[in-house]
Amino acid sequence: MVIPCYYSFRNLWTRRLTTVLTSSGMAMVVFVFAATMMLAEGLSKTLVETGSYDNVVVIRKSANSEVQSGVERSQAAIVESDPEVAIGPDGRPLLDKELVVLFNLLKRHTNKPSNVVIRGVGPAGLLLRPQVRLIEGRMPRPGSTEVIAGKNIADRFQGGGVGETLRFAMRDWTVVGVFVAGSTGFNSEIWGDVEQLMQAFRRPVYSSVLFRLRDSDRFDGLKERLESDPRLTVDAKRETRYYADQAEAMARFLHILGLSLTIIFSLGAVIGAMITMYAAVANRTTEIGTMRALGFGRMSILAAFMIESLLLGLVGGLLGVFAASFMQLITISTMNWQTFSELAFSFALTIDIVWKSLLFSIIMGFVGGALPAVRAARMSIVEALRES
């Protein structure tokens, strides 16, 4: 004989206050669990979207990022002449020689400085990055002191909006356009004409060379050829790989932080569930005895209490995920230690995270309810009935 499911459900309903308190404890843990996973997910989403699999980034050997790197004009020309570089619709190579420098910019409201990337791009820069779209204003005219700013910059930094000017390298640069680039890192960059910027910053070398592969499968051969060329001292990486490497430390930090927080917090919530379930068992000793006397087996008593505990966990999980879904509205912006520049990413909720969180909450319910349920199942009928 099996105890009906609604017995467990009704029990939770009768002790509403306790149910709400226990579940909300679990909900908070699930919230932290989901939020840290969403953050890690948001970071990796930003990075994956920033790079394109068919693009190759060439930087100086052993430089970890474009900021540290330097590629001489002559070396860039050698890379440009490689047969694996794709040709664009206008018959020119789909290759962009770029300059990347960091610049200190003040935030609009807090007046706090932050390191922002200024990227000098050539005509192919936009073709190579189809995610980038101009939403306001126009493109800078080549050879002028005009720049366009990413959406994050325009919104959050002083002098970043259309018509405003930024002062650096002894010149005033007019912002003539704002671009968006999905959820990529380019949103936190300022773009201008590469030759102008090199002159202004007195940098005679490019930072990196970016190009599209003619045939994506032939990357390995190309990589070997470029890296073993005695005239070049460069590393070639797929763009996706390059950006993943850039935030490796940040991703690992978020992962470890999330994991340790979740473990510690879940201990607290499991203890909460355990207290609740022990109390539920203790309060209903007579009831359990009666049910056993009526002929319900030990297993069905065990099942009834387990279901109650799992339900408790599930309610907490649903509440937690519901609250965490609002985190998607928040964008975190922080400095990436590896590149030393501003990196903005938001919380991203995926189906995967939802079911993992729910599973996690049910596991917490299970762990919390297991011991009390066993105690309930092992009660002897006579003693349980005698108690009151």
Q: Is 275 in the site for other proteins (CB under 8 A)?
A: yes
In one letter, which amino acid is 161? G
In one letter, which amino acid is 17? L
Based on CB atoms, which residue is closest to other proteins, 78 or 279?
279
Residues 198-237 that bind other proteins (CB under 8 A): 201-202, 204, 233
C-alpha 368 chain-centroid distance: 31
Q: Is 334 in the site for other proteins (CB under 8 A)?
A: yes
Residues 9-38 that bind other proteins (CB under 8 A): 17-18, 21-22, 24-25, 28-29, 31-32
Query: In this chain, which of 274, 301, 362, 367 binds other proteins, going by CB under 8 A?
Result: 274
Q: Is 47 in the site for other proteins (CB under 8 A)?
A: no
DSSP state of 27: H
Q: Are 19 and 12 in contact (CB under 8 A)?
A: yes
DSSP state of 216: G
Q: Is 342 in the site for other proteins (CB under 8 A)?
A: yes
Based on CB atoms, which residue is closest to other proteins, 79 or 343?
343
C-alpha 28 chain-centroid distance: 20
Based on CB atoms, which residue is closest to other proteins, 128 or 280?
280
Q: Are 86 and 211 in contact (CB under 8 A)?
A: yes
| Rounded Cα distance, 248 and 259, in Å | 16
Q: Is 60 in the site for other proteins (CB under 8 A)?
A: yes
Based on CB atoms, which residue is closest to other proteins, 101 or 222?
101
Question: At which residue do the structure tokens 């879904």 appear?
Answer: 325
Least spacing, CB of residue 31 vs other proteins, in Å: 8
Q: Which stretch binds other proteins (CB under 8 A): 50-58, 75-83, 185-193, 332-340?
A: 332-340
Q: Which residues contact 267 (CB under 8 A, 6 or more apart)?
A: none
Q: Is 261 in the site for other proteins (CB under 8 A)?
A: yes
Q: How many CB atoms lie within 10 A of CB 274?
A: 18
DSSP state of 140: P
| Rounded Cα distance, 132 and 227, in Å | 30
In one letter, which amino acid is 321? V
Based on CB atoms, which residue is closest to other proteins, 275 or 385?
275
Query: In this chain, which of 144, 283, 328, 350 binds other proteins, going by CB under 8 A?
Result: 283
Q: Is 259 in the site for other proteins (CB under 8 A)?
A: no
Diameter of the chain measured on Cα atoms: 94
Print burial letters for 202-233: b (CB count within 10 Å at least 16), e (below 16): eeebbbbbbbbbbeeeebeebbeebeeeeebe
Letters for 106-145 (x = contact with other proteins by CB under 8 A, - = none) are ------xxxx------------------------------
Q: Is 61 in the site for other proteins (CB under 8 A)?
A: yes
Q: Would you tell me which residues interact with other proteins (CB under 8 A)?
A: 17-18, 21-22, 24-25, 28-29, 31-32, 60-64, 67-68, 101-104, 112-115, 168-170, 201-202, 204, 233, 257, 261, 264-265, 267-269, 271-272, 274-276, 278-279, 282-283, 332-335, 337, 340, 342
